[in-house]
Amino acid sequence: MQSHTHAAVGACIGAAMTINAPVEVAAAGTAVAVVGAIISDIDVGGTGKRSTSWLVAGCSAALMAVPVVLGMVQQWAALGLFVLTCVYGALQEHRSFMHSIFAMVLLVAAIYVAMPNLPLYFAAGFLSHLLLDIITHRPVQLLYPLEKSVSLKLCYSKSRASQLLFLLGCAGTIILIIIRFL
Ligand SMILES: [Zn+2]
């Protein structure tokens, strides 16, 4: 699935999960959910546009600034481990390590130690990424390092379905933000 679709769906999930939370938690939670939703494609490497990896890394770093600025980071070492895991993932094949339950557990653990009130939002975003990729034609190595990969072949990454999900994610996010401040 395309990166902007993952980002929109992640934002919608984050906004929905934090609708009743204080504004700072909602801002940080939604930012972290979007990071969770887009970070897997840091491994896109040679298979997609090379700039996508940098775009994902840059957007994720910018979004992680939200909880950092709000003073929610308690363990910088854990955040360092998060970054190292992403660097390792970026060097692996597309849809392998960074698209696995193994990577999710490592990243969620790092987020939990660094920012104890935010791992659920990250995990929800990450799971949305895996689900959206699994419905496409290109297989996902969900159980990395095991070779077996999963693909439901319901649509292509660049398809009307992706555009529709992007629009639904954007609309859902905007509606949730409006509801929150009504
Ligand atoms: Zn992906």
According to the model, what pLDDT value does residue 23 have?
95
Q: What is the model's pLDDT at position 48?
A: 62
SS3 168: helix
Q: Are 19 and 42 in contact (CB under 8 A)?
A: no
Length in residues, the chain: 182
Question: How sure is the predictor about 46, in pLDDT bands with cuts at 50, 70 and 90?
Answer: low
- Which residue has tokens 């769906």? 9
Give the separation between CA 70 and CA 18, rounded to whole angstroms. Answer: 16
Structure tokens at 157: 């990454």
pLDDT for residue 176 is more than 80: yes
Q: Which amino acid, one-letter code, is at 136? A: T
Q: Where are the domains of the chain?
A: 3-181
pLDDT digits (tens, 9 = 90+) for 49-88: 778 899 999 999 999 999 999 999 999 999 999 999 999 9
Q: How far is the CA of 176 from the centre of ligand 1 (A)?
A: 25
Q: Can you tell me which residue has the tokens 């660097």?
A: 87
Question: Over the stretch 106-150, which tens digit does the pLDDT of each residue have?
Answer: 999 999 999 999 999 999 999 999 999 999 999 999 999 999 999
| Assigned token pair, 69 | 């600025």
pLDDT of the residue at 157: 85
Distance of CA 23 to the CA centre of its chain: 21
**Cα 167 to middle of ligand 1, angstroms:** 18
Q: What is the pTM of this model?
A: 0.95
CA–centroid distance, 133 to ligand 1, in Å, is: 6
